[in-house]
Structure 1
Amino acid sequence: MQFIPGQRWLSETEMEQGLGMVTQLQGRMVSVLFPVTGEMRQYAISEAPLARYQLFVDEVGQHGDGWSFRVTQVDDDSGVLTYHGIREDNEEKVLVPESQLAAQVATNQPLTRILAGKLDRLDMYNLRLRAQRHLQTWQGNPAAGLMGARAELLPHQLYIAATVADRHQPRVLLADEVGLGKTIEAGLIMHRRLLTGRSERILVVVPDSLAHQWLVELLRRFNLQFSLFDIERCEQAAIDGGAVFASEQLVLVPQSLLSHPMWSGELFEVEWDLLVIDEAHQVAPEDKRFQVLKRLTEHVSSLLMLTATPEQAGIAAHFSRLQLLDPDRFNSFERFTEEQANYRELAPQAEALAQARKTAELDELLDNYGTGRVMFRNSRAHIGGFPTRHLCNYELPAGDSLAVRFNWLVELLKQHKNDKLVLICRHTETVLALHEMLRVQQGVHAAVFHEGLSLLERDRAAAYFASPEDGCPILLCSEIGSEGRNFQFSQHLILFDLPHHPDLLEQRIGRLDRIGQQADIFIHVPVVENTAEQVLFAWYQAMQAFTQTNAIGESIFRQFAERVHELIDVNEIGQLDELELAQLVSDTEIAAAELRDSVEAGRDRLQELNAFRPHQIEALLEHIRLNEKADELQSFMESFWARFGVDYDRLDEYSGWLRPSDQMRVPVAGLADEGITVTFSREHALTHEDVAYLTWDHPFVQQALELLSFDTYGCTALGILKNRALPAGAWFIELTFSSLVMAPKQLVANEFYPRQTFRVLLDSQGRDLTDKVAANALDSQLQFIDKKQGRLLVKQLRRECQQAIQQAWHSAEQQQQVVTNQALEKMQQQLNQQFARLEKLKQRNPMVRQTELDAIELRKAELQQAFKSPLLQLDSVRLIVNIPA
């Protein structure tokens, strides 16, 4: 190596030092100054770990003053280079001695790394290419964010999620009946919007009693880490300073916080882009909290409201909630009621089209009429697939209520010793007492589930109960402790006592009676004489709450709660008036029948047909089935873990144990020190809630794809051929270029132009062999070479490699232009179709907002501009040298 003062060199062993400059030669030593760190290094000339840094014509260089230039000519004056070039900011001609080059160079660029002799293993290089192919497929997948939930792929849920998630600033009411999965629909919408960049900061408002359930559901089903802000958390955040809610992107608050004068006001200090309100019907228009919600809905551009009973509090209250969605559209209650009556007249026509499978005509009818664009309501009757409920009640004599019921429970367990039974009662104290009595008196081990347990303890209890091999026969749950968990694998529910509200009863039964339940369910109710259950049981039977879903529970409760509680009080002291109880039963039966008839008469068949159009979701379901590729994902992740030092041991056919090791290259976010059990099987995940479900959407997988696509891992490699048919020393260079459309996240450019990779293969003569030699044709022939020998080979071919890389850009640019043109055409076609459809709809359906049309036009214009200049970068380099044996 010939060193001359003023030359620029890279350190092969300390690339972070940046670009060094030769300052002095003394005998056999060379001194190099690294301006980035201000350090001086001295090396033996014969063994200096340095790589000569030089630019070629058409390359872009960086001047020390910060501006860049494109090289047009290179002069060599006795070993020191001077670059002629054109400044990129003002087209001015410049002369740049290499001593004036910026000292900070991009050490993560493959060109810089190959010049410095930095080489990765061949398997890491191949893993990088696999990751990039997977990332490209995932980014362009219309089901991204929809297929990664721990949930069954239920068509009606996916239809609503897919319809709403991609809208510009969606504002909708999700009003499916109980058990159809509104929470899952909302979670799917949030998940897709977050993963695609449509949303970044989300606020969820839920009833206080459901706050923990929502946290668990969002984390367990969607891997969404929400932060619960109750009063205590708000007070702590205020001490830390700044806006209370600014520290987190995903925030969940209890409804009670809306009543707090200080913390409710803080909600408006943050720019949320999506607001989710669960059980929206619980906040009545006359409630002070409703006014806070109203202000929030005006403050946030996108809105999801959830309620299973939209009209339970009356049509006027329902209209008030629709006004939260779109006050301009819903500005007249009289006109709204008139329109609803007119829509229902179209129901027979829509039903006939549905029966005749005239999907095109049905779609046009549903698009043009009804509140379908802002309200989605599926009914159990419309969806189907639910089990039959069987009531098994047991009249027990008066006495020590707990002892009487415990003896009955022991007998029931004997009768169902091969079944799994779920028992729910009001209080944790009862759960703990039963657990101890079963263990001590009967030797029966039970799993317990109550609000006093941590999330991990609940997971273990659920797993213990679910296990068919070594699990327990019964799970004991408290009222709140049972929330957020579903036990469809059990067909027997024991209501050890009865709640005082019909909605709580429905919630209990809903733990088993859900979509996915494969058999009939049996509801066991012990009724001890002279207890509250005697009154409650009769009352619930009168409204048929045990044997069918009870959408009228809240209305019945408001009408009869006082009478029920009076009867309970006198019954528990043995003074029950049988005639009064009979009258309550009779009055409840009449009221329940009238309410059900009213609900049925008001049922909007147009809404049901609009909320789920099976023919429109078939393509997406097929897309999910084709792209889940669990086996391919598992193979990729096992390779990633092996190369990055994460220990993975298979436990059985469906699951494995994942844990960190001392050799981990990078920390895995969310991987606890003690490790976790993971599965790639949706079926296994649905029956083992304590097992992490890994899909292409999962944070572990996304981290792997991003590390291998955007970091330096595997970006430079050297492989040896031993092919006697080729001349010794013949070499090839395989280059992979990446291409990105630089656009704001909200435009979701990936939908049309996911991150692209373009391959160019050149031989030592500069001939382009890309189309003649397939990407994986050489993989099986290549052999690993140790780093020392690899560096020596790279040193010999540095100049030739740099020239080849420069030559390859033209081929990559041509490939990019073809793909960009295709993406541009696809984008224009799809957005034009969306605009034309909405514009036509707007003429008939006032639910279509002008802002939706404007957003499509704006998105198209901005994407057209972004597609003009995609960012092309050299991503990875593989040098292949033939050394026959």
Structure 2
Amino acid sequence: MSEDSVHTYVAGQRWLSETELEQGLGLLTQVEGRMLTVLFPATGEIRHYASQQAPLARYRLLPDDRGQHADGWFFRVTEVENRGGILHYIGQREDTQETTSLPEAQLAAQVATQHPLTRILAGKTDRLDMYRLRQQAQRHLQRWQQSSVAGLLGARAQLLPHQLYIAHTVADRYQPRVLLADEVGLGKTIEAGLILQRRLLSGRSQRVAIIVPDSLCHQWLIELKRRFALAFSLFDQERCEQTVEEHDNVFSAEQLVVVPQSLLQSERWQTQLAAADFDLLIVDEAHRIAPKTAHFAQLQQLCTAIPSVLLLTATPEQAGLDGHFARLQLLDPDRFHSLEQFIAEQQSYQQLTPLAEVLARVGADKLLDRLLDHYGTGRLMFRNSRAHVGGFPERQCHPVALDADDGEAFATKASWLKQLLSAHKAEKFILICHSSAQVQELYDFLRIQHGIHAAVFHEGMSLLERDRAAEFFASPEDGCPILLCSEIGSEGRNFQFAHHLVLFDLPTHPDLLEQRIGRLDRLGQAETVQIHVPYLTDSRDAYLYQWYEAMQAFRAPNAVGAMLYDEFHEQLQAFLTGDYHDELGFAEVLDATAERAEQLREQIKQGRDRLQELNAYRPQQADAILAAIAADERQQQLTEFMHDFWNRFGLDYDEFNAESGWLRPTEHMRIQLPGLPDDGLTVTFSRDYALANEQVEFLSWDHPQVQHALELLSTDSFGSTSVALIQNRALPAGAWFIELSYTSQLTTAPELVAHEFYPQQAIRILLDSQGRDLTARVQAAAFDKQLQFVDKKQARALLQQLRQNIQQHIHTAWQPAEAQQQVLLDQAEQLLEQRMASAQQRMRELKQRNPAVRQSEIDALQARHQQLRAALAKPMLQLDSVRIVVNSPA
């Protein structure tokens, strides 16, 4: 593509319109006197121009260029002949390898109008600052793609080592199938979100379904958006019925969906969910789906159909060891096929604990790795304890024995509650009881009889009503002093800004009691958790309180509660129902419970749970992840880049304070940013500020708005062409240079994550007007500092003079660009061979010691290795941007 030094217009020539580049390649159909008629076949438009002032640029292919015939096939030019002003291209067809010859009139009308060469020859240029912004984006994108913690940078959450270790370990696996089973309050939801975000951003996952209890659907949607800037869609019964007419499979309508557990009870929707080609399934509160039920069988079908599965449960053995085994079977039925064998294996692992403790203490990580490799569930289950992680508050229990007749039980306890609130007017309380009816009765008592405002939270309310109640309670300015919850108040909600918990009644299962207390006793709780337990003497709750106290359930997290329940619930039942009042017999139950609890805690301390802890959290490796995040956050660089981006693309940023500001669109906005409402939003680049101000959007390199900016400046035409002046007295006036930026990348399936080895590379070539390569002699940064802005009119005039030479220089630059690319490819190949060989060797050795390693994981590593090796042999090199620099000494 070039322009003849002297215009000779001949019908049949191909020209580009400088003012309407989007019209494609024009065909000169008529030359009559001083008037030209040009047809643009791509749009069917016809334009008439005066020949002396026609805004047209001649289109010409050079030898080695790739052209396209109007019929769609491509050819490689070997020779160009000018026959009476019409260019004839001789070359080789790519499909048949035959030699072909065609006049330029037969070229396809669709040309790459956004290609920098096309834009340069048509006189389309961008401002110098936009060109610089594009170069910055290329560098930032490359660094982000190479980051070992990409996808872990953007969570609005504390950077907790145990969560980051699990997320980093699981997210990078081929089709991970794991049980996240940290104790209550350790942040399994955050772990799942981190894994999810890293897999989505890396390309390892594209379609995700999250199954949660119905009462937690809305909270999951909010948490995904608020903490991870992930927009999921809720597919409940109503949404499915609305969508069924538009899609054969309703779940094909969205990539990211949240599904209530109750929907699985419908065979129709469950079948469609299993057939919807999701590649990642997350199941919250997995212990609530009991084995040997139709609901469990439906979940089993989903786990079989979807390759990657995360099961979340804080109580992995709540339904007994057989229930725990059944959930492990969901993940790997081939490995876990015999409950008896599984139990025997678990018992045998206790003898490994002393050695593992020593290796952990002296920091012998490699030896510890090999030892823990023998542990059967080590790759499938991650379970941290509070004692191992640390940083949790203390608990204090305040039992209150009340005397009253049976008919006065509620009034007595309610009156006590009113006195408690009156004694702590400046503090917030959460009350949990069994039924929604009792919640309403308490609400009426406090509001009507005593004028005390309360928020209510129970299963009879809609999700929106529950969220409003939680918000009303949380508000420090005009909120209420107490939140009254039915049992669902102990599920999934975190209220650690309060530290008073009232257990108006007591549940019969220790794990449910632990879930209640865990709403306040969590990471982030700054105060001692005060647990208030009112009970009537000689009542059901009086017996339960003493039994729970015997196992120390109020003092610290109760890991042995489920096992104690299995052993003692039948003996306890007689006292709870009033069928047995032998206090001596009850004292024996309490003594036996206390003794057995101590035995079980000692077994856990000495046995397999300690191995789980060592496997689920390696401090040294977690510290390395934290250090990588600190290095790659680059908050100042991100702030400067996004401010420049907003300025160039028509968005206003009004600073509120040093940490935040109001970002809003204007009438001059060039593009739409994801998640930016018409009235704008408050944003911050500070994680600490975002944690303290949840209404503020936290921007990181992982955030969709930042990713959108990087993608826009890497794939669209913004900043791809520019003209600048240099004032250098040592150079002759009019001397000019062409700076070319190429991108090199691999074209592979997203799940191969090729950018870990070969991110999108930027290759720079600098030529002078004679075509000499100055790239190595003139550094980019030093050269850029000397350049000055050129207005569009002057830039167009300069380009008109240099069109023919520009195309020839771009042609010349291709060879040194390929040479630079080959150096990068050789480096990437070395890295690939080194890492993949090590990974495959590690997995082969691991499989010899641990049957939980699937052969499919090893096969996938080998396949990925071969596919990436093949991709490195066929890189895609593209011209990304062009800058013309002309010397104009003052």
TM-score normalised per structure 2:
0.90
Distance 1:388 1:77, change over 3 A: same
Q: Does 1:412 align with 2:424?
A: yes
Q: Does 1:200 align with 2:206?
A: yes
Distance 1:271 1:388, change over 3 A: same
Please, which moves more after superposition, 319-328 or 105-114?
319-328
Distance 1:882 1:218, change over 3 A: same
- Between the aligned partners of 1:685 and 1:477, the Cα distance in structure 2 is 29
Which residue pairs with 1:13 in the alignment? 19
Is the CA contact 1:460–1:690 (under 8 Å) kept in the aligned structure 2?
A: no
> What CA deviation, in whole Å up to 9, does each residue of 1:6-60 have, x standing for no partner?
1111111211110001111222221101111111100122222211111122221
1:495 to 495, 502, 521: 502
Using the TM superposition, give the Cα deviation of residue 471 of structure 1 relative to its aligned residue in structure 2, in angstroms: 8.0
Q: Secondary structure of the equivalent of 1:495?
A: strand
Is the CA contact 1:203–1:274 (under 8 Å) kept in the aligned structure 2?
A: yes
- Between the aligned partners of 1:139 and 1:534, the Cα distance in structure 2 is 59
Which residue pairs with 2:600 in the alignment? 598
For 2:281, give the aligned amino acid. L
Using the TM superposition, give the Cα deviation of residue 565 of structure 1 relative to its aligned residue in structure 2, in angstroms: 10
Q: Does 1:674 align with 2:676?
A: no
Unaligned 5+ segments in structure 2 are 1-6, 405-410
- Between the aligned partners of 1:730 and 1:447, the Cα distance in structure 2 is 76
Using the TM superposition, give the Cα deviation of residue 218 of structure 1 relative to its aligned residue in structure 2, in angstroms: 2.2
Please, which moves more after superposition, 629-638 or 34-43?
629-638
Using the TM superposition, give the Cα deviation of residue 84 of structure 1 relative to its aligned residue in structure 2, in angstroms: 2.1
Q: Secondary structure of the equivalent of 1:246?
A: helix
Mapping for residues 227-242 of structure 1, pairs under 5 Å: 227-242=233-248
Is the CA contact 1:498–1:536 (under 8 Å) kept in the aligned structure 2?
A: no
Q: Secondary structure of the equivalent of 2:47?
A: strand
- Between the aligned partners of 1:761 and 1:52, the Cα distance in structure 2 is 25
- Between the aligned partners of 1:421 and 1:26, the Cα distance in structure 2 is 88
For 2:421, give the aligned amino acid. L
> What CA deviation, in whole Å up to 9, does each residue of 1:831-856 have, x standing for no partner?
11011111112222211221111111
Q: Secondary structure of the equivalent of 2:639?
A: helix
Distance 1:460 1:647, change over 3 A: farther
Please, which moves more after superposition, 207-216 or 107-116?
207-216
Is the CA contact 2:473–2:483 (under 8 Å) kept in the aligned structure 1?
A: no
Is the CA contact 2:738–2:882 (under 8 Å) kept in the aligned structure 1?
A: yes
- Between the aligned partners of 1:550 and 1:344, the Cα distance in structure 2 is 20
Which residue pairs with 1:318 in the alignment? 324
Mapping for residues 259-274 of structure 1, pairs under 5 Å: 259-274=265-280
> What CA deviation, in whole Å up to 9, does each residue of 1:427-470 have, x standing for no partner?
675897699789x969xx99998886887995997599577xx7
- Between the aligned partners of 2:646 and 2:101, the Cα distance in structure 1 is 49
Distance 1:207 1:585, change over 3 A: farther
- Between the aligned partners of 1:142 and 1:409, the Cα distance in structure 2 is 51
2:529 to 521, 527, 532: 521
Q: Does 1:848 align with 2:853?
A: yes
Which residue pairs with 2:660 in the alignment? 655
Q: Does 1:789 align with 2:794?
A: yes
Q: Does 1:185 align with 2:191?
A: yes
Distance 1:637 1:588, change over 3 A: farther
Which residue pairs with 2:107 in the alignment? 101
Unaligned 5+ segments in structure 1 are 570-575
Q: Secondary structure of the equivalent of 1:106?
A: coil
Which residue pairs with 1:87 in the alignment? 93
Please, which moves more after superposition, 671-680 or 864-873?
671-680
- Between the aligned partners of 2:446 and 2:704, the Cα distance in structure 1 is 38
- Between the aligned partners of 1:2 and 1:464, the Cα distance in structure 2 is 80
Please, which moves more after superposition, 426-435 or 193-202?
426-435
For 2:500, give the aligned amino acid. L
1:755 to 760, 779, 799: 760
Using the TM superposition, give the Cα deviation of residue 777 of structure 1 relative to its aligned residue in structure 2, in angstroms: 1.9
Which residue pairs with 2:408 in the alignment? none
> What CA deviation, in whole Å up to 9, does each residue of 1:567-607 have, x standing for no partner?
999xxxxxx99968997787467446535633652541222
Mapping for residues 273-292 of structure 1, pairs under 5 Å: 273-292=279-298
- Between the aligned partners of 1:681 and 1:432, the Cα distance in structure 2 is 40
Is the CA contact 1:449–1:475 (under 8 Å) kept in the aligned structure 2?
A: no
Is the CA contact 1:69–1:87 (under 8 Å) kept in the aligned structure 2?
A: yes
Using the TM superposition, give the Cα deviation of residue 793 of structure 1 relative to its aligned residue in structure 2, in angstroms: 1.4
Distance 1:425 1:431, change over 3 A: farther
For 2:183, give the aligned amino acid. E
Using the TM superposition, give the Cα deviation of residue 212 of structure 1 relative to its aligned residue in structure 2, in angstroms: 2.8
Equivalent pairs counted in the alignment come to: 868
Using the TM superposition, give the Cα deviation of residue 371 of structure 1 relative to its aligned residue in structure 2, in angstroms: 2.1
Is the CA contact 1:542–1:586 (under 8 Å) kept in the aligned structure 2?
A: no
Q: Secondary structure of the equivalent of 1:662?
A: coil
Q: Does 1:614 align with 2:622?
A: no
> What CA deviation, in whole Å up to 9, does each residue of 1:361-388 have, x standing for no partner?
2121112343211222212222222221
Which residue pairs with 1:573 in the alignment? none
Q: Does 1:243 align with 2:249?
A: yes
Which residue pairs with 1:51 in the alignment? 57
Using the TM superposition, give the Cα deviation of residue 563 of structure 1 relative to its aligned residue in structure 2, in angstroms: 10
Distance 1:642 1:536, change over 3 A: farther
Please, which moves more after superposition, 103-112 or 553-562?
553-562
Q: Does 1:828 align with 2:833?
A: yes
Distance 1:431 1:808, change over 3 A: farther
> What CA deviation, in whole Å up to 9, does each residue of 1:78-102 have, x standing for no partner?
4322222222333322222111111
Q: Does 1:857 align with 2:851?
A: no
Question: What do you get for the CA RMSD once the two structures are aligned?
Answer: 3.3
- Between the aligned partners of 1:705 and 1:759, the Cα distance in structure 2 is 19
For 1:706, give the aligned amino acid. E
2:159 to 153, 166, 171: 153
Distance 1:568 1:374, change over 3 A: closer
- Between the aligned partners of 2:165 and 2:115, the Cα distance in structure 1 is 43
Is the CA contact 1:82–1:95 (under 8 Å) kept in the aligned structure 2?
A: yes
Which residue pairs with 2:693 in the alignment? 688
Q: Secondary structure of the equivalent of 1:778?
A: helix
Q: Secondary structure of the equivalent of 2:373?
A: helix
Mapping for residues 415-494 of structure 1, pairs under 5 Å: 417=426, 421-425=428-432, 465=474, 474=481, 476=483, 478=485, 480=488, 484=492, 486-488=494-496, 490=497, 492-494=499-501
For 1:88, give the aligned amino acid. E
- Between the aligned partners of 2:27 and 2:658, the Cα distance in structure 1 is 58
1:549 to 554, 557, 560: 557
- Between the aligned partners of 1:432 and 1:687, the Cα distance in structure 2 is 31
> What CA deviation, in whole Å up to 9, does each residue of 1:659-681 have, x standing for no partner?
22222211112222232222211
Is the CA contact 2:472–2:479 (under 8 Å) kept in the aligned structure 1?
A: no
For 1:169, give the aligned amino acid. Q
Is the CA contact 2:252–2:276 (under 8 Å) kept in the aligned structure 1?
A: yes
For 2:840, give the aligned amino acid. F
- Between the aligned partners of 1:701 and 1:531, the Cα distance in structure 2 is 60
Q: Secondary structure of the equivalent of 1:85?
A: strand
> What CA deviation, in whole Å up to 9, does each residue of 1:696-747 have, x standing for no partner?
1111111111111111111111112233333221211111101110111111
Q: Does 1:70 align with 2:83?
A: no
Using the TM superposition, give the Cα deviation of residue 636 of structure 1 relative to its aligned residue in structure 2, in angstroms: 1.2
Distance 1:52 1:586, change over 3 A: farther
Which residue pairs with 1:335 in the alignment? 341
Q: Secondary structure of the equivalent of 1:823?
A: helix
Distance 1:691 1:846, change over 3 A: same
Is the CA contact 1:734–1:878 (under 8 Å) kept in the aligned structure 2?
A: yes
Q: Secondary structure of the equivalent of 1:633?
A: helix
- Between the aligned partners of 2:166 and 2:30, the Cα distance in structure 1 is 71
Which residue pairs with 2:355 in the alignment? 349
Is the CA contact 2:743–2:763 (under 8 Å) kept in the aligned structure 1?
A: yes
Q: Does 1:723 align with 2:728?
A: yes
> What CA deviation, in whole Å up to 9, does each residue of 1:394-433 have, x standing for no partner?
56787475565234313212xxx4xx63534456758976
